[in-house]
Structure 1
Amino acid sequence: MSSAIPRDATPHDDDSAALAALGYESRFKRDMSLWANFSLGFTYLSPVVGVYALFAFSLATGGPPMIWSFLVAGIGQLLVALVFGEIVSQYPVSGGLYPWARRLWGRRWAWMSGWIYLVALLVTIASVAYGAGPYAAALLGAEPTVDTTIGCALAILVLATVINFAGTRTLARAAIIGFAAELVGALAVGGWLLLTERHHGLGALFDDFGAAGTGSYAAAFLAAGLIGVFQYYGFEACGDVAEEVRDPARRIPRAMRMTIYVGGAAATFVALALTLSVADFGAVVSGRDADPVTTSLTAAFGPGGTKVVLGIVLISFVSCAMSLQAAASRLLYAYARDDMIAGSGALRRLSPTRHVPPYALLVTAVVPALVALGSKLSEDALTKIISFASLGIYMGFQMVVLAALRARTRGWRPAGPFTLGRWGLPVNVLALAYGVSAMVNMAWPRTPEGPWYDDWIVVLSGLVVVALGAVYMTLTRHHHRGDAPAGDAVPATAAAEPRPQTAH
């Protein structure tokens, strides 16, 4: 293919030619650098949002040793990121999981992978925007009522949407600013807590302080370890905007790994600082201190300083919502470009001046807004909807990981600039094993005292999403439309070659 590219071609021409060889025409502007691409993944992963949202639950459930889940989940998701890196290096196409699954397996598998991931992204956008409510209320000195939380969620969605509508260059700048603010904030807050409010030594990280009660600590750790499981995704967003990155086949795999390294280290540092700054673990475990984050921040920074910290936290929430919207809108665009979903004519349009998909972006704002507004009718219903978010993202991940493993066994050899070589197969197998284990942990019923449907809500919500997708596919048959390449990762000769007969 390289011989067909003129010698005086620019890097942009090379990228366009490589995309054309994959069956698509470049319509985005490649305004995103390596650092901007990494920042997009980092702000989606968002150490501050992830840690602050689940710290109280995890500490009360598993005590200080819950922090080791960051190491376990970080290694597991690094394996997934390595698999994704091989795929995006060969197929640097906008939309991420959907086009990857399409090339590795086929139309039906790709459609369902994208459907599950899309629903999870839209729900995650709603949960991030809604989750900022209590912090906004604390910053403004208001009561964290449902109305206040909804108002904050809508404000965050509007701001994130405006940034996305402004174009790739503005998105890239906003991502870098969000990364810098969150990283500096995480280091400054964590460092100050360790210097002024540390009540324990590192030995506390090996003591559960009675969190497990009389039962097995393994069960408590697995439940508390959800903070690590929920933390390590966002790196896939680097690939969702592949057609907006210069030299994506090399840069995106690197940006994905950087997201894991830097984001994981920052999240672990924040969790460590918060853990060692908790004065009374027993109060957290017993429920007397239901908000150890605010307790520690207030003790270390005072009311005025705490508001500054809360301001940084809100910046993190906005940056996270913005990155999620970018990922979801590019996935919708990729679907529509292949004519795989209702409304494809509008969803695949790009703004002639901003070079972003405006109608796809509008969907990623309106649907999460409706989910947030639904809490006015039932906060419990909102909780049930959001319960699917993380499971759905992991399901989408593992459908691609499984597709890659299947393709390898049928003859696929990653052909991009980034490959794992002979390590590809074992890494792929371990990535699948980790992902399946993480999904089982997320879905495991842990509230036997409640109604059975609440105990199984994560599993039930996943089944509902898959069932709705299956009904949609059956009735509309959108997955049969369009002529974009599918299932071509496996060489045609390997796919057609008959399997050897077993000797009898």
Structure 2
Amino acid sequence: MEKQPQIELKRSLGFGSALSIVIGTIIGSGIFFKQGSVLDSAGSSTMAILAWVLGGIITLTAGLTIAEIGSQMPYTGGLYVYIENLYGRIWGFLAGWMQIIVYGPAIIASVAGFMSILMANLFGLSSAWRIPLAVITILAIGAMNMLENRVGAAFSVITTIAKMIPIAAIIIFGLFWGHQHAFGQTLSQVHQSAGNFGVAILATLFGYDGWILIANLGGEMKNPQKLLPKAIILGISAVLLIYTLITIGVLRFLPVQTIHRLGENTTAYLAVKAFGTIGGKLLSIGIIISMMGTINGKMLTFPRIVYAMAKRRDIPFSRALSYLTPKGKSPVVATLFIILLATIMMLFFDPDHLSDLCVFTVYCFYILAFFGIFILRKTNEAPRPFSTPLYPWIPIIAIAGGIFVLISEIINDPAGVMLFAGVVVIGLPVFWIVKKLDQSAND
């Protein structure tokens, strides 16, 4: 029987696409929907702004650390590949399992859930329409990503450019036409019960999360050793500046009592109040496009992890999940798998709850990866394509920030933590069963 030629992913992504995927994947629902929860936990406008800044700094130190590791392992799979190369096959499997079963579907479901709130408000629909709207959006974006990677990358570029319009509008209007003092407003009456400054930073980290997903496309970049670190660092730095300015703009325009009262509807209210009914609708459309770009970036990257694991025969149904279309080289079955799990998550979890839990889950493995930079410095004597500046302080800050995330979420939601951690641990018997069946088939 004639052997079929092996189909591989295309190395077609350049720096512009990589940078837009980083920025587009990060800037989604968090900055627009977390203003109320961050403010409630921080207790004042000054501390809320500081929470967004510190969340960005923690994320930047994480990005600088991963940039050095990723430049030495420029392969499809990202965190899954890093953990396996650093700690062995089982730990690598758990990192991949966590992303495809828990983190990936949860974060897609969370962003889609937040987006559907704006869509329902925009079209004057009841809350019963939120889940159907979210599911339809995920299906449409997923279908687009079943084409070759250039289509999804092009959509990321377009939506990243488009999302800058509502962002610029909020920043400019808030800074120049706002009449509130961005600093010094206090919300002491809810500070006692809403959380604390640690919980506020934890909420911002959902807004910053997603930057590492570009590493999943390492095998599809033209020059990943150089492009990956540059895209991660410039992308996170740009988002840190944008988030700080948006927060100041919102606090300049709306008093903290109003933000507290509106919660997740703060951005929609601000849009109408600042730009009128029509202008508010246009701004809401821009924010919805922003969220679609975020979902697209995640839908582009997470199936690549499924593909990488299936190609290694690490998961059930590997033959189907590793299938690539002959023409577009797209992992269509893996994409359908992520769509299915994200839809299930949407049916059973609140988007705000999902956002916190997915951050906790991924940071468990981020910390392992951060420690990996010390391992590589000792074991890898080859020249590094990129070196983390201010070593070892930057990785130490990244590790400390990761530990802070874990402790905060365990204290804040122990039941949710146990549920998601349990799903990750279930991966171990799955791995052993798959490997035993695979070995039996080869004997």
Partner of 1:466: 424
Contact map agreement 2:115 2:291 (CA 8 A) in 1: yes
Partner of 2:3: none
Name the amino acid aligned to 2:328: R
SS class of match (2:29): helix
Counterpart CA distance in 1 for 2:286 and 2:113 is 17
Counterpart CA distance in 2 for 1:461 and 1:403 is 27
Using the TM superposition, give the Cα deviation of residue 273 of structure 1 relative to its aligned residue in structure 2, in angstroms.
0.9
Total equivalences in the alignment: 431
SS class of match (1:291): helix
Counterpart CA distance in 2 for 1:238 and 1:313 is 22
Partner of 1:12: none
Q: How does 1:91-490 map to 2 (within 5 A)?
A: 91-118=73-100, 119-145=102-128, 148-196=129-177, 198-201=178-181, 204-211=182-189, 213=191, 220-278=196-254, 280-285=255-260, 287=261, 291-372=265-346, 374-375=347-348, 387-408=356-377, 411-413=379-381, 415-420=383-388, 423-445=390-412, 455-477=413-435
Please give the per-residue CA displacement for 1:182-204, whole angstroms capped at 9, x wherever unaligned: 123201232123333x1223xx4
- Superposition CA RMSD, Å: 2.6
Contact map agreement 1:105 1:407 (CA 8 A) in 2: no
Change beyond 3 A, Cα 1:301–1:125: same
Counterpart CA distance in 1 for 2:115 and 2:341 is 18
Please give the per-residue CA displacement for 1:213-257, whole angstroms capped at 9, x wherever unaligned: 569x9x622222233222222221221111211111100110001
Using the TM superposition, give the Cα deviation of residue 284 of structure 1 relative to its aligned residue in structure 2, in angstroms.
4.2
Change beyond 3 A, Cα 1:129–1:248: same
Using the TM superposition, give the Cα deviation of residue 51 of structure 1 relative to its aligned residue in structure 2, in angstroms.
1.1
Please give the per-residue CA displacement for 1:375-429, whole angstroms capped at 9, x wherever unaligned: 4xxx66x776665212112223222223333454x534574411237x4433323
Instruction: Please identify, of 245-254 and 259-268, the stretch whose mean Cα deviation from structure 2 is larger.
Output: 259-268
SS class of match (1:165): coil
Change beyond 3 A, Cα 1:258–1:479: farther
Counterpart CA distance in 2 for 1:468 and 1:34 is 38
Larger radius of gyration: 1
Contact map agreement 2:112 2:295 (CA 8 A) in 1: yes
Unpaired runs of at least 5, structure 2: 1-5
Q: How does 1:27-38 map to 2 (within 5 A)?
A: 27-38=8-19
Partner of 2:35: 55
Contact map agreement 1:329 1:364 (CA 8 A) in 2: yes
TM-score, normalised on structure 1?
0.79
Counterpart CA distance in 2 for 1:314 and 1:78 is 26
Please give the per-residue CA displacement for 1:354-387, whole angstroms capped at 9, x wherever unaligned: 1111111111112212332x34xxx66x776665
The partner residue of 1:44 within 25, 35, 46 is 25
Counterpart CA distance in 1 for 2:60 and 2:279 is 35
SS class of match (1:142): coil
Contact map agreement 1:249 1:416 (CA 8 A) in 2: no
Counterpart CA distance in 2 for 1:384 and 1:70 is 19
Using the TM superposition, give the Cα deviation of residue 274 of structure 1 relative to its aligned residue in structure 2, in angstroms.
1.1
Change beyond 3 A, Cα 1:415–1:159: farther
Q: How does 1:15-34 map to 2 (within 5 A)?
A: 27-34=8-15
SS class of match (1:388): helix
Contact map agreement 1:90 1:414 (CA 8 A) in 2: no
SS class of match (2:126): coil
Instruction: Please identify, of 223-232 and 249-258, the stretch whose mean Cα deviation from structure 2 is larger.
Output: 223-232
Please give the per-residue CA displacement for 1:66-88, whole angstroms capped at 9, x wherever unaligned: 12112212121211111211111
Residues 1:80 and 2:62 are matched in the alignment: yes
Using the TM superposition, give the Cα deviation of residue 110 of structure 1 relative to its aligned residue in structure 2, in angstroms.
0.6
Using the TM superposition, give the Cα deviation of residue 212 of structure 1 relative to its aligned residue in structure 2, in angstroms.
5.7
Change beyond 3 A, Cα 1:235–1:209: same
Amino-acid identity (%): 21
Using the TM superposition, give the Cα deviation of residue 291 of structure 1 relative to its aligned residue in structure 2, in angstroms.
3.4
Change beyond 3 A, Cα 1:326–1:396: farther
SS class of match (1:225): helix
